[in-house]
């Protein structure tokens, strides 16, 4: 296992397009790092630079302190799991898993032992003689994992390995990958555009947009303290509600006016707004759906943080209900308890948990409370 | 008659017409082969008197085969044809598969694009245009006519463009780049990636190119007749000329020679047929 270091990594294509800009990351041994972001954000390109499949235009990439920029993929001691598995169609499962070891001229009995060990971990023992075309999507995925495991590499790279699976299998394999990380104690770098995968698997998440790293931190930190509007919107499902609010003063209090609703800002946030000279200006108020409540006791205790609207759509999900409503022309979502009496068309009163709000600068989109 | 019955009747009529047309075309293609099969077991007189009779007046005979084999020096010309066809086919497959791999995977490299464009352009130049300069250059300047190797290289040169075109399509549409990347990470060099991963996956195209080129090389008359002057180096198609005399032709021997010439390639086709269909349709639909 190994530690990785990416210093000022850039990827610039011959046509001048900057796919990745100034990427800096230190990966500790046994970490599970997730690269997450929308399509075209540069996450796969960064992974491919780590694998050696793309040249690094600028910057340094080191494994265990050794510079790897110009080292061939085969000599980096890494294994990669591809989005479409990339299993060799003309080889059996056994041959697929043994291929890398055969190339390295590992003795046959050792190859056999390693392949069977990996097959046991991944429950592939009965499929070793089959060709990939005779396997289901989940089985192919496991073979791709097995091919990586048998090599005992320093680093595992996974490029959206679950995106070709159906929803149920994806959840199942997500758990399998998590277990595998625990069992093998390997350093894993995992690319996904699915924020749920990122949140559930990663020890740290790297959020990227347009080739630039937005924030690197633990899932909890990213969820609770996103550094900007993009991270706040990308992490969390349903996504955080964003609405423009005008900062005002009401005696000693600082208020946020959203349409006809006036919300009193708590003390800590109040000071930040005053220090930043935001009074009279418009900021973006962010609040997660679970921090909007229709419970009577909560409403009673938060009379200064009330918003009123008409329910447009009600989605019952069993364990929770999503309520969609408009405030000042912007659609908002509330995640409420399944016993909520509110129905589509009802006039509803909600209270915001102001301790959980986020305030973003409208120009820079930085989080005024947790900007990094 | 309601609309449904009318549509059914029209459909049936279309099917009948299609079947009739197909039968006519089938007969047109099969008749020459049948004529060879019928007449090869007759003596010359029987063939001349009634070429369509299943068995001649003098009965069934196998004598045409040993006579033809002796007269055309069959085993020698068969050996020549086999060596030339085998070597030229193998070389064509190797060179074109490797060339197309480089061309497909280096599409941004202008030299590759130019090379491929030249290859495609060369496919439209008729052989007859090149034949005289070819013989005068190789024969007159280099003096390397009358050699199997020369013919093998010429066959390879003339067929490699078409084969490259076919392999190009197969690699482009059927071999995902990720397979090669997986092989590189697993420890393959570029050379190993080609031989261990890409080439085995080109099996249907290899079969298609093999049968098309082997048939062309085996049956070719014009190029061997220009290159090979020495009787010892004759291929089967040139050797069959021995039966065409100035004043008379022993048609029974010609039939036997033709059947002997046809059989090996027919057997090869039957072996590779399954792959050829796959090769021709490769990439047409998502797998």
A196 and A318 part of one domain: no
From A234, A265, A284, the end of a domain falls on A234
| Enclosing H/E stretch for A253 | strand A253-258
- HSE (side-chain half, CA atoms, 13 Å) at B214: 22
The three-state secondary structure class of A363 is coil
Residue of A nearest to B180 (CA): A86
The answer to whether residue A172 is domain-embedded is yes
* Residues A274, A229 share a domain: no
**What would the pLDDT profile of A32-52 be if each residue is shown by its tens digit?**
999 999 999 999 999 999 999
**Residue A214: φ, ψ to 5°:** -90, -45
Q: Average pLDDT for residues A283-288, to the nearest whole number? A: 95
Residue A371 lies in a domain: no
Same domain for A151 and A252 = no
Sheet holding A330-336, edge to edge: A292-293, A347-352, A306-316, A321-327, A330-336
Task: State the pLDDT at residue B146.
Answer: 86
**Cβ distance A75 to A231 under 8 Å?**
no
A372 in any annotated domain:
no
DSSP label of B142: I
The answer to whether the pTM exceeds 0.95 is no
Count structural domains, chain A. Answer: 2
Whether residue B182 and residue A74 make contact (CB cut-off 8 A), yes or no, is no
Instruction: Flag whether A269 is in a domain.
Output: yes
Band of residue B166 on the pLDDT scale cut at 50, 70, 90? very high
Does A110 reside within a domain?
yes
* Residue A141 and residue A221 in one domain: yes
Residue A343 and residue A257 share a domain = yes
Q: Which domain holds residue A226?
A: 4-234
Assess whether A171 and A33 both reside in one domain.
yes
Last residue of a domain, one of A234, A251, A272: A234
DSSP state of A266: P
ipTM rounded to 2 decimals: 0.83
> Does A184 map to a domain?
yes
Domain end among A201, A234, A267: A234
Is the pLDDT confidence value at B170 over 70?
Answer: yes
Quick one: what percent of chain B has pLDDT higher than 70? 94
Residue B278 near chain A (CB below 8 Å): no
Does residue A82 sit in the same domain as residue A9?
Answer: yes
pLDDT tens, position by position, A54-72:
999 999 999 999 999 999 9
Task: Please check whether residue A255 lies inside any domain of the structure.
Answer: yes
Residue A284 is part of a domain; what is its CATH number?
Answer: 2.40.50.100
In sequence order, what are the residues at sequence separation of 6 or more whose Cβ sits closer than 8 angstroms to the Cβ of residue A30?
A1, A185, A186, A187
Q: Do A117 and A147 belong to one domain? A: yes
A72 and A204 inside one domain: yes
Q: Are residues A176 and A317 in the same domain?
A: no
List the single best residue of A76, A88, A95, A159 to mutate versus B (max B Cβ within 10 A): A88
Cβ-Cβ contacts under 8 Å, B183 against chain A: 88, 99
- Pick A78's closest partner by Cβ from B108, B185, B188: B185
Residue A367 counted as domain residue: no
A372 has a pLDDT exceeding 60: no
- Cβ contacts of B189 on chain A, cutoff 8 Å: 74
| CA B145 to each of CA A36, B148, B197, B226: distance values in angstroms, whole numbers, following the listed order | 66, 9, 39, 8
Question: Cα distance from A234 to chain B (closest Cα, Å)?
Answer: 28
Window 99-118 of B: residues touching A by CB (8 A cutoff) are 108
Are A211 and A264 found together in one domain? no
Judgement on whether residues A141 and A246 belong to the same structural domain of the protein: no
Lowest mean pLDDT, pick from A64-68, A287-291, B202-206, B270-274: B270-274
Structural element, H or E, at residue A215: strand A212-217
> Residue A104 sits in a domain of what CATH number?
3.40.50.300
């Amino acid at each position: 296992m190994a530690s990785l270091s990416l210093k000022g990594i850039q990827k610039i294509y011959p046509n001048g397009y900057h796919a990745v800009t100034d990427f800096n990351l230190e990966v500790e041994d046994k970490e599970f790092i997730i690269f997450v972001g929308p399509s075209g954000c540069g996450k796969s390109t960064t992974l491919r630079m780590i694998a050696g499949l793309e040249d690094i235009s600028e910057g340094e990439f080191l494994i265990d302190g050794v510079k790897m920029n110009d080292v061939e993929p085969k000599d980096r001691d890494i294994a990669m799991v591809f989005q479409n598995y990339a299993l060799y169609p003309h080889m059996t499962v056994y041959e697929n898993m043994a291929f890398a070891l055969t190339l390295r001229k590992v003795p046959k009995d050792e190859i056999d032992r390693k392949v069977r060990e990996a097959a046991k971990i991944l429950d592939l023992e009965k499929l070793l003689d089959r060709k990939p075309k005779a396997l289901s999507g989940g089985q192919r995925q496991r073979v791709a994992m097995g091919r990586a495991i048998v090599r005992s590499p320093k680093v595992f790279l996974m490029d959206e390995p679950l995106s070709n699976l159906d929803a149920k299998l994806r959840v199942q394999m997500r758990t399998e990958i998590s277990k595998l990380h625990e069992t093998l104690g390997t350093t894993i770098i995992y690319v996904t555009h699915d924020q749920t995968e990122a949140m559930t698997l990663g020890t740290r998440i790297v959020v990227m947009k347009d080739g630039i790293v937005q924030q690197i931190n633990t899932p909890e930190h990213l969820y609770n303290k996103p550094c900007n509007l993009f991270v706040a919107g990308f992490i969390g499902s349903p996504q955080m509600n964003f609405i423009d609010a005008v900062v005002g003063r009401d005696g000693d209090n600082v208020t946020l006016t959203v349409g006809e609703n006036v919300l009193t800002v708590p003390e800590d946030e109040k000071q930040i707004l005053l220090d930043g000279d935001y009074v009279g200006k418009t900021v973006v108020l962010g609040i997660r759906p679970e921090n909007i409540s229709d419970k009577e006791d909560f409403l009673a205790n938060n009379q200064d943080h009330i918003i009123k609207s008409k329910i447009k759509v009600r989605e019952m999900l069993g364990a929770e209900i999503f309520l969609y409503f408009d405030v000042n022309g912007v659609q908002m979502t509330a995640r409420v308890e399944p016993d909520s009496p509110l129905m589509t068309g009802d006039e509803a009163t909600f209270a915001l948990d102001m301790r959980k709000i986020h305030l973003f600068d409208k120009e820079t989109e930085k989080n005024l409370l947790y900007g990094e | 008659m309601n609309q449904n019955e009318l549509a059914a009747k029209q459909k049936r009529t279309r099917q009948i017409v299609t079947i009739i047309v197909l039968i006519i075309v089938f007969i047109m293609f099969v008749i020459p082969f049948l004529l060879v099969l019928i007449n090869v077991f007759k003596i010359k007189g029987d063939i001349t008197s009634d070429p369509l009779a299943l068995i001649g007046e003098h009965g069934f005979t196998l004598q045409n085969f040993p006579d033809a084999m002796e007269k055309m020096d069959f085993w020698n010309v068969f050996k020549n044809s086999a060596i030339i066809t085998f070597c030229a086919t193998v070389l064509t497959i190797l060179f074109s598969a490797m060339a197309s791999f480089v061309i497909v995977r280096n599409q941004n490299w202008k030299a590759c694009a130019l090379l491929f464009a030249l290859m495609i352009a060369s496919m439209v130049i008729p052989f007859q245009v090149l034949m005289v300069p070819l013989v005068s250059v190789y024969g007159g300047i280099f003096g390397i006519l009358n050699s199997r190797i020369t013919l093998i290289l010429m066959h390879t040169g003339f067929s490699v463009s078409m084969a490259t075109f076919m392999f190009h399509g197969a690699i482009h549409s059927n071999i995902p780049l990720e397979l090669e990347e997986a092989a590189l990470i697993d420890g393959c060099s570029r050379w190993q990636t080609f031989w261990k991963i890409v080439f085995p996956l080109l099996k249907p195209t290899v079969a298609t190119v093999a049968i098309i080129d082997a048939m062309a090389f085996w049956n070719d008359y014009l190029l061997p007749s220009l290159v090979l002057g020495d009787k010892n180096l004759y291929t089967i198609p040139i050797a069959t000329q021995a039966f065409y005399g100035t004043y008379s032709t022993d048609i029974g021997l010609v039939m036997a020679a033709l059947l002997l010439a046809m059989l090996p390639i027919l057997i090869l086709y039957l072996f590779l047929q399954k792959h050829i269909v796959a090769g021709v349709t490769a990439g047409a639909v998502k797998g």
